[in-house]
Chains A and B, each alone.
Chain A
Amino acid sequence: MGLVMGAFSMQSKQVNYHTDKVDDDLELSVVCHRPEGLEKLEAQTNFSKKELQVLYRGFKNECPSGVVNEETFKQIYSQFFPHGDASTYAHYLFNAFDSSHNESIKFEDFVMALSILLRGTTTEKLQWTFNLYDINRDGYINKEEMTDIVKAIYDMMGRFTYPALRTDTPKQHVDAFFQKMDKNRDGVVTLDEFILSCQEDENIMRSLQLFENVI
C-alpha cells in the first residue's frame, strides 16, 4: 500500500534524475596544460613579453585549465555575433587555430595564430587565410569548401539583413571569388594562385594592415 501511496503522492512533480554531464567537463578540466616558457614564446612569436603576459592572463582567466575545446570556442565566438549562428564558422576557425590538430587550442596555438594575424607579413597572413579556407587540408580550395565557408559567414549575418539574403547569394559570392582567384581555371585554387591574386588586389592589401593594432 505504501508503494501505491508513494506513486500517487509524487504525481505533482516529475523528478528526473539524469546522469551528470558534468563528469565529461570534469575530465577535461582536470587535464591542465602549461605553456612553454615566456622566452621561448617570445622568440617564436612577434609579441613582446608584456603583450604575452597580458594575453596569457586573459587566456588563463577564461580557461583556467589552459586549453580551449571546440564547444567553449564556439560559445565564445558566438557571443560576438548574436544576430546569427556563428557555430559553423567557429568550427572552421577552431580548426585553423588548432594547428596541432588535437581538438583543443592551447595557449601556444592561440598566440602563434595571433602573432601571424597581427604581426605577421602579408604572405603569412594570406597563408593562414588559405589554411582557413582549405578545410580538408589538401592544399587546394575547391568550390565546395569555399561554398561551405561562405555559407558559414553568411550564417553569421542572421536572417534579418538588408538587402534580404537570397538562397543563391553564397553561390554567387563563391563564383565571383573563383573568377578572381582561379587563374588557370582548373576549378581549384592553390596557395600560389591565392597569394598572387590577393597581392594584385589593392583593397585586400590595404585591409590587411587594418588589424595590426588590435592588441
Chain B
Amino acid sequence: MAAGVATWLPFARAAAVGWLPLAKKIMPKPPVDKKSRNDEILFVNVSGLRFQTWKNTLDRYPDTLLGSSEKEFFYNEDTQEYFFDRDPEMFRHILNFYRTGKLHYPRQECIQAFDEELAFYGIVPDIIGDCCMEEYRDRKKENQERLAEDTEAEMATDTPLPPHSTHRERLWRAFENPHTSTMALVFYYVTGFFIAVSVIANVVETVPCRPLKGSKKDLPCGEKYSLPFFCMDTACVLIFTFEYVMRLFAAPSRCKFMRSVMSVIDVVAIMPYYIGLVMPENEDVSGAFVTLRVFRVFRIFKFSRHSQGLRILGYTLKSCASELGFLLFSLTMAIIIFATVMFYAEKGTKGTNFTSIPASFWYTIVTMTTLGYGDMVPNTIAGKIFGSICSLSGVLVIALPVPVIVSNFSRIYHQNQRADKMRAQQKVRLARIRLAKKGTTNAFLQYKEEGGFHNRDSDNALCLKNKSSFQHQHHHLLHCLEKTTNHEFTDELTFSEMCMTESVGYHTSRSTSISSQQGVSTSCCSRRAKRRAIRLANSTASVSRGSVQELDTLQVHKTSAGPQSRSSLNARTEDLKLNCEDRDFTAAIISIPTPPANTPDESLPPSPAIPGILRNSRTSSYTHETVKISSL
C-alpha cells in the first residue's frame, strides 16, 4: 500500500463507526497501540549533513532501514541522533522518498552508486516514479552491458590457458586468437596471404591476354595459362581444406561450428573446386559448372576473420535488420506503385520501352536511386510528371533508415574501440598491482629483518615507529600465519635454491626452522631455477665467508649497483635509520646458500650452521646478476 494511505487509516477506522448499528456480531477489540502517539522530530546525521524529519515520516515505510528498528543500530547516544556514514547528497533523495512517496533518480549520479545507496537503505528500486523510471532503466541497462563487455573482454582472449589443456583445446585457441602463439600467427598470415592470392587469381584469369600464335581472338589469361592457374587454385583449395578440417577437429562443439557463418563461407569457398573435379567433361553441365565458379568469390569473405572492420560491418547489418527490412519493404511498394503508373502512362507511346510492368520495375529502381541510366525514358507528359515524382520520393525513402543504420554502426564500432582500450589498460593495471604487491611483501620481510618480533636495539626502534599501525598489525598477522603453519615466507630465489638442495638430497645440521623449509619445496625444480641458484651461490661465495655467523640486515637502495664488500655491508646498517622512509629499500640478507656436499661441479663453500631463519638474498652488487625482488 502506498505510504500516504497509511495516514488515512485512522480516518478509515473512525468511519467504521458507521457500521456499528448494522453489525450482526460484536466488534472485535482494537489492537493496543503501545507506542506513544506524540510525533517527534528525529535527527539524522549523514556524514555531517544534518537532516530532521518527523518520526511518522520515516514510519511510513516499515520495511526499510529508516522505517524499521534497524536504524537503532546507527543511533548515537552522545549526540542523540542517527548517524550514517554515507553520501549526504544521495540521502536527500532517499529522504524525499519518505516525504513524498515517490522515489526519483538524480540524473547526474552514477547509477551504481545510487543502487548501492538504495540497497543500503533497504529500498527496492522498483518504486522509482514514472518520471524517472525510464532514465533509470536505460542507464542501468547500459551499465550492465558495459560490465558484461568488460568481463567478456577480460575472460576471453588473453588469459593464459589452463595448465592441463588438450591438444584440441590448444589448437582451437590458436585458431581463435592468433596472438597467443607464434605458430598460430604464422598460420594466420599464411592463410590470409593465400586468400589474397586466390582472389587475385580469380580476378586476373578473366583479364584478356595476348592471344596464342596463329589466333586472332583475345584469350582471357585463365584459358591461356590454364595450368598455372589450376595449380594455384589447387594449392589454395588445399590450404583452405586443411584449415577447415583442422578447425572442425579443434572445435569444442562441432555442430555449432558447422552452423556458424564463417564455416559456411569456408565450405562455399572450396566446394566449387571439388565439384569441378568430380564433374564430367560434359558440355551441358559445364555451363552450370562455370556458374559455380562464381562462388569462388566468396573466398573474399574469409578475410572477415582477419579484419575486425568487416566483422563490425556484419554485426551492424545484422542489428539493423529491422531498419533494412523496412527500407526494403517500402522500396518494394514504391517500385510496384510507380512501375504500374509509368506502364499505364507510357502505354500509348509507340516503340516504348515500358513493355510490361516488370519491365518498368527497372526504370523505377534506376530512377528512385537517382541513377538515371537513361536506357528507359518516359515520353508522354504524364509519364514525365510521374517520373519526376518517383525520383523525388525515392530520395526520401532511402534517406530515412540510413541514420539508424549509421548510429548502430557507430555504437558497435565504439564498443569495439572500448574493448580494445580496456584490454590495453588491463595490462597496465595488472602490472601496477603486481608492483604494489611486491612492495608489501618487501616491507614485510624488511619488517622481519628489523627484528620487529624481537626487541632490538634503538637503532631499529626508530625505524619501526615510522611504520603505520596498520602495517604493524598486518605484519603481525603475517607473522601469526607463519607461526601457525610453521612455515615462512621467502622469495623465489631462495625457494628455488631449496628446490635444488632438495633434489640432491643435502642434509645439513640446521636448526628446526630450516628443516621446516624442506617441506616447502617439493615440486619446483626446474633447470633454470637450479642454474640461477648456482649462479647466486657462486656469487655470494665471496661474501658469505665472512658473514657466516651472523645475519645482518643489509639495506640497499634499489638503484645502487656498486659492488659491496663485507665491510661496506656493515657500514650500511647506519643507513637503516636514515632510509627508513624510502620505500624502495628491500631487505637483503646475506644468504648462506646450502651447497650440496656431493656435487663437485659446484664449488661452493661448505655450509655452516645457520642460526635463525634462512633469508632470501638479494644481489644487486653483482652486475651480471639478475636482481630478484622477493615475492610472496
Contacts and interface: CB of A to CB of B under 8 A. Distances in A.
Interface in A89-128: 93, 96, 110, 113-114, 117-118, 125-126, 128
Interface residues of B, number: 46
20 contacts: A1-B334, A1-B389, A2-B396, A5-B330, A50-B39, A57-B56, A59-B7, A61-B100, A62-B4, A79-B5, A80-B8, A80-B12, A93-B18, A96-B18, A114-B10, A132-B18, A203-B27, A207-B20, A214-B13, A214-B30
B7 A61 contact: yes
A9 interface: yes
A15 B414 CA distance: 33
Contact of A9 (B24, B30, B326, B337): B326
Contact of B14 (A4, A117, A204): A117
A176 B7 CA distance: 35
B330 A76 contact: no
Contact of A153 (B19, B389, B397): B19
Contacts of B337: 4
B21 A194 contact: yes
Interface in A43-65: 50-51, 53-54, 57-59, 61-62
Contacts of A204: 20-21, 23
Contacts of A113: 14
A28 to B, nearest CB: 17
Contacts of B37: 51, 54, 215
* A-B interface, 4 closest residue pairs, ranked by CB to CB distance from nearest: A58-B7, A117-B14, A1-B393, A207-B27
Given A1-B389, A79-B1, A173 B14 contact: no
A150 interface: yes
Majority DSSP secondary structure for residues of B touching A: helix
Given A1-B389, A204-B23, A129 B9 contact: no
B73 interface: no
Interface of B: 1-2, 4-5, 7-24, 26-27, 29-30, 33, 37-39, 54, 56, 99-100, 326, 330, 333-334, 337, 389-390, 392-393, 396-397, 400
A37 B330 CA distance: 69
A210 B37 CA distance: 17
Contact of A203 (B16, B23, B326, B333): B23
Nearest to A6: B396
A150 B18 CA distance: 11
B17 A117 contact: yes
Given A5-B330, A210-B30, A213-B30, A77 B24 contact: no
Contacts of B393: 1-2, 5
Contacts of A133: 18
Contacts of A57: 39, 54, 56
Contact of A173 (B5, B22, B390, B392): B22
Contacts of B24: 173, 176
The interface residues of chain A, by DSSP majority, are classed as helix
B15 A210 contact: no
A1 B392 contact: yes
A96 B23 CA distance: 19
Given A5-B396, A80-B9, A117 B15 contact: yes
Interface residues of A, number: 51
A211 interface: yes
Given A4-B337, A54-B56, A214 B22 contact: no
A208 interface: yes
A129 B20 contact: yes
A93 B8 contact: no
A162 interface: no
B29 A8 contact: no
Nearest to B2: A79
Contacts of A181: 21
Contact of A77 (B4, B12, B334): B12
Nearest to A53: B39
A150 B330 contact: no
A5 B5 contact: no
A198 interface: yes
Interface string A1-38: 11011001100000000000000000000000000000
Interface centre among A114, A207, A208 (most CB of B within 10 A): A207
A200 B426 CA distance: 86
